[in-house]
Amino acid sequence: MSSALGDTVAKFRAERAMSQAVLADLAGCSRQYIAQLESGQRRAPSPRIVTAIANALQLRGPNRAHLYHVAGMSHLSERPDNWPELLEMARVVVTHVCYPAYVHDSMWRVWGFNRTAEEVFEISSEAVQIGATTLLDLIFHPSYRHHFVDWDHWVKVLLAEFRRDCRAVMALRENRETLRRLRRQPDFRRFWQSADPAPDSAATMALTFQSGSGAISRLRVVRMLYPGPADIWINVVVPAEDAIVD
């Protein structure tokens, strides 16, 4: 059974008189992979593969945007062609940080976190859909919000930062859908309506976290914009007394 993505790849490939083998070679995958993608047997390629195929087909403008759209990755059309590679580099950096650390984009979609973050914040990797689950999904989730001491204050700070970070990309359709989903979370509408965008990005944010065992930790989130595209953030969570920012 074919798929919209497979049909689109096959169409662009045929228009360029390119064989599956040539496309596979240029995109850095196997001919079998391209054949399965075009036939609909593969329906969820990674952003890296979709971008590699777009580059191999030399897609630009509306054609490139259409490929990302049928792949369910419309947000990538606004990013540099090498965004998936830069994202992967950021994720590798995070895995080598000894403190809890994670990566998110300007809509705060989580793209990766290290094992320390998983352990300290008691987050199951199965509960986070990479590239879809946002930090706010976790913060507002009824079964998780009790971990944050003074939750109301923390949410107000977060939403002010979120509104500042995402205001330039909020108009994109998939981002509006993310916001609609968040509005279904308990209390989100109440806090969202009263939150004004922060005037400047905070270099650090204070956080008090209570573990399942009852232990309380005073922490500080150190935010760093990854060099390159203004859409990849690396966040490192350190003990409050260690959060020294020049």
Looking at the fold, whether 226 and 125 belong to one and the same domain comes out as: yes
Looking at the fold, whether 93 and 50 belong to one and the same domain comes out as: no
Structure tokens at 71: 């792949």
Boundary of a domain, candidates 78, 95, 124: 78
Q: How many domains does the chain divide into? A: 2
Contact indicator for 223, 201 with CB cutoff of 8 Å: yes
CATH number at residue 148: 3.30.450.180
Boundary of a domain, candidates 44, 78, 112: 78
Q: From CA 87, how far away is CA 169, in angstroms rounded? A: 18
pLDDT score, position 35: 95
Helices and strands per DSSP (H, E), number in the chain = 11, 5
Q: From CA 24, how far away is CA 217, in angstroms rounded? A: 50
Residue 220's alpha-carbon distances to 99, 164, 198, 211, 225, in angstroms, are 11, 19, 18, 16, 16
pLDDT score, position 103: 94
Looking at the fold, whether 149 and 238 belong to one and the same domain comes out as: yes
pLDDT score, position 114: 95
Looking at the fold, whether 111 and 210 belong to one and the same domain comes out as: yes
Contact indicator for 42, 33 with CB cutoff of 8 Å: yes
Contact indicator for 28, 52 with CB cutoff of 8 Å: yes
Looking at the fold, whether 66 and 91 belong to one and the same domain comes out as: no
Structural domain harbouring 38:
4-78
Boundary of a domain, candidates 78, 93, 125: 78
Tens-binned pLDDT, residue by residue, of the chain (246 aa) = 558 999 999 999 999 999 999 999 988 889 999 999 999 998 778 777 888 898 889 887 778 888 988 887 776 666 676 778 888 899 999 999 999 999 998 889 899 999 999 999 998 777 788 888 999 999 998 889 999 999 999 899 899 888 887 776 666 666 778 888 889 988 999 999 888 887 776 778 899 999 999 999 999 999 887 765 557 889 999 998 754 443
